[in-house]
Amino acid sequence: MSHNSNQSITIALVAGEASGDTLGADLLSELKSRYPNARFVGIGGPKMIALGMDSWYPMETLSVMGFFEVLKRLPQLLKLRKQLIQRLIELKPDVFIGIDAPDFNFTVEKHLKQQGIKTVHYVGPSVWAWREKRLQKIKRAVDGVLVLFPFEPQYYHRYQIPVECVGHPLAQQVPEVPDKISARSRLGLAEDSQVTAILPGSRMSEINQMIDPYLQAADQLLKAYPTMRFVIPVIHDRARRRIEEALKKWQLDEQVLLLQGQAQLALEACDQALVTSGTATLECALMRRPLVLAIKVHPLSYWIMSRLATTKWIGLPNILAQQDIVPELIQDQATAEKISTELASLIESEVIREQQLRCFEQQYQQLKQPSAQIAVAAIERWTGIGNEPQ
């Protein structure tokens, strides 16, 4: 394909939260290097704005989590979405790229596509985990979907939706060879001590639910490994207060080091980790650290999820491997006894550790791709931007 990189094209993007801003910035800098005269508009965060994007509305407006929070803000969100769609239809950008935020973006994409504007969605929703039927709607909204995992395209092929796997940006953000010794010296931990990282989740509901069983398990591990140290990255002040309260209860202030964020540093410094589900399990695998996953959710949420789920695992390393690599302790299984038993066998058994680590190394290589370059090539293919005018 011949590029006329001096074309003055307009690209509209919408990112709804911090992770989308990071992906969007990565994509923007690749697009800018190919199309230096391009104009970027829509909704973005500080990283996208720093690259010259004109953000029409503050990204925070879209960053609402949880059913009730969304309900409270619904009138405001619907009004904003209506205005945005109107502005974009008048502007007629060469392409619209919705980054994550599926509930918001798919509606925008559907309206724009009906008006003949090319649309691409970046980060496929987890149709592989539940509600695969959503793909029928998605097909009507987009000209193509960029996905992060190699097992995802098969679902889109079933519905004849153009799809490209671009790898996972997290894989580019972790060190090629994580350096345990330097991470420990930064944290003031002894080189030869046994260190376990505990990642209790980023939502208060997860932290409230899991911190006590986690610390009780830590207390039990200390009986077998009296010199063990624990590191816990803390997401914000509310979480810190809740965790400190639990530390007092279990009398573990001495053995536990709390960090301000810095999950990656905690993982780099540890020998093994205890993780609540979510992206943290993937981050742990990409840092090549053996782990145990343990989570409890509200019984009603669990009931709904287990009815809708289409995969037997909840941890991304297992879903990627399509087999039981990482122990998953869910609901009634997530007891302090079971957690400490699984962690102890991870510490004692070279075979179990090696099996996880071999698998993680493969996943790291698989997901470490030049994501933005692959994404831009796919966008050009699906939308025709960059083609010389005939």
Structure tokens at 380: 């050009």
Average pLDDT, the chain: 90
Residue with tokens 């969304």: 70
DSSP of 125-154: --TTTB-TTHHHHHHHH-SEEEESSTTSHH
Residue 66 or residue 287, greater confidence: 287
DSSP label at residue 164: E
Q: Is the pLDDT of residue 113 over 80?
A: yes
Structure tokens at 374: 């692959």
Buried b (16+ CB within 10 A) or exposed e, 69-100: eeeeeeeebeebbeebbeebeeeebbbbbbbb
Mean pLDDT for the stretch of residues 175-189: 96
CA angle 70, 73, 77 (to 5 degrees): 95
CA angle 121, 53, 367 (to 5 degrees): 45
- Asked if residue 148 and residue 63 are part of one domain, the reply reads yes
What are the CA-CA distances from residue 306 to residues 297, 303, 330 (Å)?
A: 11, 5, 11
In a domain, 389, yes or no: no
For the chain, give the number of residues. 390
In a domain, 3, yes or no: no
Coil, strand or helix: which one is 209?
Answer: helix
Number of C-beta neighbours around residue 58 at 10 A: 12
Q: Is the pLDDT of residue 389 over 70?
A: no
In a domain, 2, yes or no: no
| Selection from 196, 115, 146, 138 nearest residue 372 by Cα | 146
In a domain, 31, yes or no: yes
Mean pLDDT for the stretch of residues 373-377: 96
- Asked if residue 326 and residue 180 are part of one domain, the reply reads yes
Structure tokens at 185: 């010296």
- Asked if residue 233 and residue 185 are part of one domain, the reply reads yes
Position 128 scores a pLDDT of: 62
Coil, strand or helix: which one is 293?
Answer: strand
In a domain, 202, yes or no: yes
Burial of residue 238 (CB within 10 Å: 0-12, 13-18, 19+) is exposed
Coil, strand or helix: which one is 2?
Answer: coil
In a domain, 4, yes or no: no
Q: Is the pLDDT of residue 388 over 70?
A: no
- Asked if residue 156 and residue 216 are part of one domain, the reply reads no
pTM of the model: 0.80
Structure tokens at 100: 């994550």
- Asked if residue 153 and residue 127 are part of one domain, the reply reads yes
- Asked if residue 207 and residue 129 are part of one domain, the reply reads no
Position 313 scores a pLDDT of: 80
Q: Is the pLDDT of residue 1 over 60?
A: no
DSSP of 81-120: HHHHHHHHHHH--SEEEEES-HHHHHHHHHHHHHTT--EE
Cα(295)–Cα(326) distance, integer angstroms: 13
CATH number for the domain spanning 200: value is 3.40.50.2000
Amino acid at 13: L
Position 372 scores a pLDDT of: 94
Cα(83)–Cα(78) distance, integer angstroms: 9
- Asked if residue 258 and residue 157 are part of one domain, the reply reads no
Mean pLDDT for the stretch of residues 277-290: 91
- Asked if residue 200 and residue 342 are part of one domain, the reply reads yes
In a domain, 5, yes or no: no
- Asked if residue 250 and residue 129 are part of one domain, the reply reads no
User: Sorting pLDDT into bands at 50, 70 and 90, what band is 310?
Assistant: low
Position 190 scores a pLDDT of: 94
| Selection from 143, 149, 145, 103 nearest residue 121 by Cα | 145
CA angle 16, 19, 20 (to 5 degrees): 45
Provide the domain limits for residue 318. Answer: 173-367
Number of C-beta neighbours around residue 227 at 10 A: 10
- Asked if residue 270 and residue 214 are part of one domain, the reply reads yes
Burial of residue 284 (CB within 10 Å: 0-12, 13-18, 19+) is buried
- Asked if residue 341 and residue 250 are part of one domain, the reply reads yes
Burial of residue 191 (CB within 10 Å: 0-12, 13-18, 19+) is exposed
**Domains contained in the chain, number:** 2
CA angle 324, 330, 332 (to 5 degrees): 135
- Asked if residue 121 and residue 213 are part of one domain, the reply reads no
| Selection from 42, 41, 50 nearest residue 22 by Cα | 50
| 324-346 confidence digits (pLDDT tens) | 999 999 888 999 999 999 999 99
Q: Is the pLDDT of residue 88 over 90?
A: yes
